Structure 1
Amino acid sequence: MKLACLLLLMPALAASAPVSSASHRPDEVPVRPAHSGPSVAPLPHGQSDRHGHHGIHSQPDAASAPYAGLQQREIKALGDRQLADLRSGKGMSLALAAELNGYPGPAHVLEHAEALALTPQQRAHTQVLFDRMQAEAIRLAEDVIGAECRLDALFAGGAADAASVDDATARAGAAHARLRASHLRYHLQMAALLTAAQRAAYAKARGY
């Protein structure tokens, strides 16, 4: 995915790369000025720079710079954990509207199979649902990652404008919506396979 983002960035970065107007012969050695900038007088003994021990290079604290370090992310809007969860097909709380309103999900039903007293047939059907859900989630997650990558590339390459941002965010939103809807649909299918007593046992096992 990192390579794909870099490929998206290349045209914009090439267009925005600075071009030096200075030229010299191959055998010409640039001469640096003997002195650049004003001299800085040493502080009197016992006094300290007002910026502290590190001067102007002091590191901001977490409260004043909550995003410090995030600029190193592959995709700025997605952390490493989020990318890993998306690529492995995890739920990422996308189906809470179903989960917390009495519609269990296949993954946790398998986790609590004993407490729910699943029949062999129910367990087999649930495993099929889980496998399908995970495969579909992984496929749809790639659309989400790709859409976020393109949005990131617009800004990283200096090519963002109102129209391109509207288009990119609409595409990213649609990709997120498809992934969320997929998870929710599997909760519907899972609930239909369980009895009312099993759904109640599921809620108890999950602490709802």
Structure 2
Amino acid sequence: MIKKIRRNIIKNIFVDLEKEEKWLNKMCSDGYALKDISNGYYIFEDCNPNEYIYRVEFIKNENTYENKESYKNFMQEMNVDLVSSVGRWHYFRKKSCLGEFDIYSDIDSKIEHYKRINIIWYIIAFIFIFSGLSQPFTLIQSIFWGTLNVSDIIVNLILIIIGAYFLTLAIPLQKKISRLLKEKRLHE
């Protein structure tokens, strides 16, 4: 049986990847294996409960076909299948009977992975906040000339709110990176 669950862009793409992994693994424990992500839907198929272990990775921007194929072949050698990709987000699974499955087993690789994600959040936050704040002089001039347009104010506020939302994603991830860096220093 095929089961489709709509992907909520805000809830499922711009979230903590560990939460998404937990959810995918919970679905598998309930007997639904992720088969694909397509047209805004997670597509699941029946499976034995806990048949797979899922991991989500935000890969580096590998520009060449050879790099992508090399990485895919490496994962296949580790008995890991690429289930689906959405942009740079890759969804992997491994049969649970084959043992543990962690993409990032050491502190340095975890830090690098979180930094790749976090830089995206900071860039998006900066773009929206800067766009929302770049208009104050125009707004002041509009007030002075008596041509104030309320829709401009609303648009700027919305841009700032969206930017603040992305900061709410970046700041906790930055704290996680800081904790990992402290842990790394303790082990050195």
TM-score computed with the length of structure 2 as normaliser: 0.32
More strand by proportion, 1 or 2? 2
Bigger Rg, structure 1 or 2: 1
TM-score computed with the length of structure 1 as normaliser: 0.29
Q: Which structure ranks higher in relative contact order (CA pairs < 8 Å, sequence separation ≥ 6)?
A: 1
